[in-house]
Each structure stands twice: as C-alpha cells, then as structure tokens.
Chains A and B, each alone.
Chain A
Amino acid sequence: MSSIPVIAQTAGKGAARSAARRRKIKLGGPDRRPGWVTYAILSVVLLISIYPLYYVIQLASSTNLAIVRNPIPALLPEGNLFTNFGRVFDSNIPLMKGFVNSVVVAVVQSFTVVIFSTLAGYSFAKLRFRGRGPLLVFVIATMAIPTQLGVVPLFIVMSEIGWSGKLIAVIVPGMVTAFGVFWMTQYLEGALPYELIEAARVDGASMIRTFWHVAMPAARPAAAMLALFTFIGSWTAFFWPFIILGSKNPTLPMVMQLLNSTYFTDFSLVMAGVLLSTLPLIAVFAFAGRQLVAGIMAGAVKG
C-alpha cells in the first residue's frame, strides 16, 4: 500500500480507493469487489427462485377463465385473491384441519427431535461409555439407509395397532432423527466445556440435572436450528402421511393434492390452496432465513 499516499495527494481519498480497487482487479485477488456482471447473473438466479412463487400469486388472484384464456398471466396480481381463498375454505377439502394437523406434527416433532437429539448428542459428545464410538458410527450410517422403503411393513404395523388414519402414526416415526443426533453431537463436542459438567457433578447434581441445567443451555443455538430444519421437513413431508392418514384427516401437502385431484379444472382455486399452504413457511423463512443459511453452511464445514 506504499504507493497509495502518493495517489491520495494528487487526486484525493476516493481516487486512492478506486485505484487500490483497480490494482486488486488486475491481481484478481479474492478480496476484490465483483463487477456488475456478477450482480446481473445473481439477479437472474434470484428471479428464477422467486418467480414460481410469484406465479402462484398471479394465478391465485386470477379467475379460472382468465387462466385458460391467457397462459401468460397479467404482470400484476389481480383482485380475486381473497375470493379464491374463500372458495378454498368453502370447498370439500378440510383445509383448516390440514393446517391444524400440520402444525401439530411439525411442532411436536421439532420438540421431540430437539430433546432426544440433544440428550443423545450430549451423551455421545461428553459422556464416556463402552461402545460409544461404534454406536456413533452406526447412527451416522443409518443416515444412508433408505428407510422410506420399509413403508409396507410400517403400514401393516400401524394398522395392526389401530393407528392408521391417526396423526400419531405420522409423528412417532419422526420423533428423533439420525441427523439430529449427529448434528447435536457435533455441536456439543465444541460448545460444552468439560469443566462445566464437572462443576455440576461436584456440586452433587444428578446426571439428568446436569444435562438439563448445563448441556441444554449450551446447546440452545444448535437446538434452535435443528428445530427449524425439522419443522420445515415435517411441514413439507408427503409420502408417509399420504399413505397412512387418508383424505379425511390430511396434512397440508395432502390438502394440496386433494384440491388438485378434486378441482383440477379450476386452477385459481388450486393455486390459492398452494399459496395458503406455503405462506406459513415463507413467513418462517422471512424471520429465520438467515439462520437457515448459517445452519446449512455450518453443517457443511463441520465434521
């Protein structure tokens, strides 16, 4: 940077900065600010990732006649959005029930996954016991097993114990996941000092008390992210709920499927249903999108 003062003297501060930038561009160093081409490409990418959602709004605020007549929808949303929402609520498909079911499944699973995964993660990361290493390897290995392929016996068992068509049949298989256990193990290994556990133990706290008052608070940031990912996973799941629940007691993805198979000639109605089902997660994304990005990136570099 020794040459910069000279330039600054001749042409002022701004010139110095831009000269420095120019110098870096020539070098191609990693710190240089990218040019407008980069932003143009990114804007196109952004458009592609947003437009399908905007398309939903366009169709959901239109009328079926307009959709059939003109495949290219009007640029700005039309005025029928709330009419179409109303028609979804008035339809034969139990949208509200689907909403309540989705909320129940997603909330319960997020909660249990966090509790059970943190317990197991704490145990794997901080406690010593025989078989710890192999058991952890086993947990990780199960992530590669396509358990979805066991649907037939799972269905038979659930029917046998009378859970077929009930929400509990969807909730139970997802109450703890290998990913969650692995995720919390990874996090607690680094985030929880042994000294804290030791201190609690010396003070006479039982194992579970130590977990609850020492490990749980330390695990909070990772637990929040795990809850977020579990919530999204539950909210968007279709295959198993579709098989076990039946059309009388649907979750929201099933509501969308039912709307589509019942009112397939009326696309403004179907898309209004899609919009209503998707909005809650869009809201989650608006509030916690930053955490989602951080979570995926943290998961990728750790390990």
Chain B
Amino acid sequence: MAVLSPPKPSSDEGRIPRRVAFSQKRGKWDVKLSPYLYISPFFILFAITGLFPLLYTGYVSLFEWGLLKGKGDFVGLDNFTEVLNQPHFWKALRNTFSIFLLSAVPQVVMAITLAAILSANLRAKTFWRMGVLLPYVVAPVAVGLIFGKLFADESGLINAILTNIGIDPVRWHVDVLPSHFAIATMVNFRWTGYNTLIFLAAMQAIPRELYEAAIIDGAGRLRQFFSITIPQLRPTLIFIIITSTIGGLQIFDEPRMFNTTGDGGSSRQWMTLTMYLFDLGWGPQKSFGRASAVALLLFVIIVVIGMINFLVTTKIATSGPAKAKKPKSRNSTNRRTR
C-alpha cells in the first residue's frame, strides 16, 4: 500500500474538520474500490457473454429446443444420443481433425523454417517481415473465396497449371482429402506468417553464446538449428500448438466459403463440427438442443486435447533443458474467429 495510501490529512485539519473528514473517507473508498471497478468490465462482460452462454449450453442441450418454437420438453440426453448416432457427426469430426492436422503440422514446420531464414542478417528486414504478414489482414471469408476459385475443379488456376505440366486435374471440390488440403491451404496462407514472426521473436531471444560455443565445437548450420534453435523454441512451439488447436478445431469461415452453398460438399466431405453445429441450429432442423449437444461435445474434445497439450508442456518444462520464457500473449480475438 506504499504507493496508494490515501493522502495524509493536511495540517489545517482543525479549521474545516467536516470537509476534510468527508474527503478523507471518500479517498479511502476510492483507493479500496477503484482497482475492482477498473477490472470489472472484463469480468462482467465475460460472465454474461462468455461463461453464462457456455454453461447454459449444457441446459439447452437437455431440452427439445427450436429456433422458432423455443423451449420444449425435457429430453434428458436424447440430443446427445441422437447426434452421436448421426453419420454426419462422425464425418464432421473426421473432417475437423483432418483439416486441423493438414494445417497445423505443415504450418509449424513452414513457420519455423521461415523464421530461421528471416533471423539471418538480412537487408531490408522489415520489408520481408511485412511481406510474410500481409495475408493476415485478409479476412478468412475473402481467403475462402479466393482459394475456392484457385482450387476450382473446372476453371481453377491450379488445375489449369497441373494440366499444363501434364498432371491430371484434381477434383478439389469432390474428393475428401483434396478438399481438406485446399481448406488447410487457406488456413496456412493466413496464419503461417503470423506464427513465423512469433517464432522469429523467440529465436532472437536465444542467447548468442550458445551458437558461438557450437561453432567452436565445430557444429554446422544444420546441426546448430536442430541442437540449439529447436530445443530452445520448445515452449513457443507448444504455445503455438495449443492456440492453433483451440482455433483450428472450431474452424468455420474457410470451409463455409469453399463452395457457394456452404453445406460442406455434396456428401458433407469437408463439413466441420462448427459447420454442423450451425446447420443443426440454423439450418432446416432448427434444433438448438442438438446444436448445443454438438457444441458441448466439441468443447469436451477441445478441453481433452488441451489437457494432453498441458501435460506434455509441464513434462517438458520439468525435464527439458529449455529455460526460455513461455510467451503467453496472442491475439486471441483473431484466433477465436479464424
């Protein structure tokens, strides 16, 4: 309380005692309550628009609840059993994981490689850094439209190039894996540069002595990269994996824009869980109960994966040699809506 102790009563207290007493009292409450007042907007807003809806999702999922009809009968866990018996749910789960893996793994590899290149003593550093970040300002919806066209089956640029070099055109909008690849490409396009800069910052924080010692020991550039850079980056790596898991498993915008109807393909071959949630709630079924059940299942999936990540993190933090500080900040607003 050294800093924020209320102002000491002045010497002329005797002359106007009542006013001083009042302002002193007010000052005391000011000091006591202000800190809570200042942090309250976040907590109030989070309680109303974040926590309450999440908890209430559990409640809604136990009822027959329609977009138009409103709350209906209590049905227990029927919504869950119904959803789990739908082949669409399992398809959506498969698609979500497939797209997630196809985007997360190459993205991390590319981002680290790029960061290693950018960490060299380049001319026009800022220019190259800005260059990799440019896709970040393109909205996912726009990215979806652009790549949906680039990967068009009939009149797309990529198939045209493939044909020109003698490769059979790929049915990006028909086959399962190619469609996942195309959607993962959109995610990679938008986020690789962003993650590159995070890795780059972490790389620059690695003490130089480590490299100097390695050079003296005769380690080559590649050996330095794998024996110093990668281990030192481990906390950053795990952080990026965790955040991209939370964002990636909720992916909606890009697959939604991959075709015009946004249904996830003729046999739902690229429909993700969030798209399925949306379709249940606001599509022809208009069933908030079932949509909530999917939301809750997805929530559990994300929590479980998050826990696995966390356990791995702590294990590495206690046994690994990496002592570098773990970065925590991340533009979560963007992450959330990716």
Contact = CB atoms under 8 A, between A and B. Distances in A.
Contact of A120 (B42, B236, B288): B42
A208 interface: yes
A72 B122 contact: no
A46 B232 CA distance: 27
Interface string A264-288: 1001001100100110011011000
B57 A300 contact: no
A15 interface: no
Contacts of B242: 144
Given A127-B4, A129-B35, A274-B146, A300 B329 contact: yes
A143 B204 CA distance: 26
B53 to A, nearest CB: 3
Contacts of A33: 120-121, 123
Q: Pick from B145, B246, B253 the residue with the most CB of A within 10 Å.
A: B145
B3 interface: yes
Interface stretch (A6-14, A77-85, A89-97, A290-298): A290-298
Contact of B139 (A38, A204, A256, A270): A256
Interface string A12-50: 000000000000000111111110001101100110111
Contacts of A88: none
Contacts of A99: none
A123 B334 contact: no
A302 B135 contact: no
Interface string B27-58: 10011101110110111011001101110110
Given A176-B41, A300-B202, A303-B328, 7 more contacts: A34-B121, A56-B146, A146-B299, A148-B250, A253-B140, A260-B257, A296-B201
B129 interface: yes
Interface in A210-244: 211, 229-230, 232-240, 243
Given A147-B50, A299-B329, A52 B146 contact: yes
B288 A293 contact: no
Classify chain B's interface size: 35 or more
A189 interface: no
A235 to B, nearest CB: 7
B334 A233 contact: yes
Interface residues of A, number: 122
Interface stretch (B86-94, B100-108, B149-157): B149-157
Interface string B238-269: 00001000100110110011001110000000
Given A238-B139, A300-B197, A50 B134 contact: yes
Given A296-B201, A300-B327, A50 B143 contact: no
B329 A179 contact: yes
A240 to B, nearest CB: 8
Interface of B: 1, 3-4, 7, 27, 30-32, 34-36, 38-39, 41-43, 45-46, 49-50, 52-54, 56-57, 59-60, 114, 117-118, 120-123, 126, 128-143, 145-147, 149-150, 152, 154-157, 159-161, 189, 193-194, 197-202, 204-205, 208, 211-212, 215, 220-221, 224, 236, 242, 246, 249-250, 252-253, 256-257, 260-262, 274, 277-278, 281-282, 288, 291-292, 295-296, 298-299, 302, 306, 325-334, 336-337
A206 B30 contact: yes
Contacts of A150: 49-50, 52-54, 56-57, 295
Contacts of A176: 41-42, 45
Interface string A105-137: 000000000001101101110111100100100
B123 A53 contact: no
A177 B333 contact: yes
A140 B133 contact: no
A145 B288 CA distance: 21
Contact of B137 (A50, A147, A281): A281
B46 A142 contact: yes
A39 B198 CA distance: 21
Given A71-B155, A143-B330, A119 B38 contact: yes
Contacts of A129: 32, 35-36
B3 A122 contact: no
Nearest to B211: A30
Contacts of B117: 34, 38, 41-42
Contacts of A39: 122
A289 B152 CA distance: 31
Nearest to B212: A29
A179 B252 CA distance: 22
Q: Identify the 7 closest CB pairs spanning chains A and B, nearest first.
A: A150-B53, A236-B139, A153-B56, A71-B160, A233-B333, A300-B201, A207-B34
A30 B121 contact: yes
Contacts of A45: 114, 131-132
A167 interface: no
A235 B333 CA distance: 11
A172 interface: yes
B135 A49 contact: yes
A133 to B, nearest CB: 13
A181 B44 CA distance: 14
Contact of B299 (A149, A197, A233): A149
A149 B336 CA distance: 10
B274 to A, nearest CB: 7
Contacts of A256: 139, 141-142, 145, 257
22 contacts: A28-B221, A29-B211, A72-B160, A119-B38, A119-B39, A123-B34, A145-B54, A147-B336, A150-B295, A178-B332, A202-B7, A230-B333, A236-B137, A236-B140, A238-B337, A256-B139, A256-B257, A257-B256, A271-B146, A293-B126, A300-B199, A301-B204
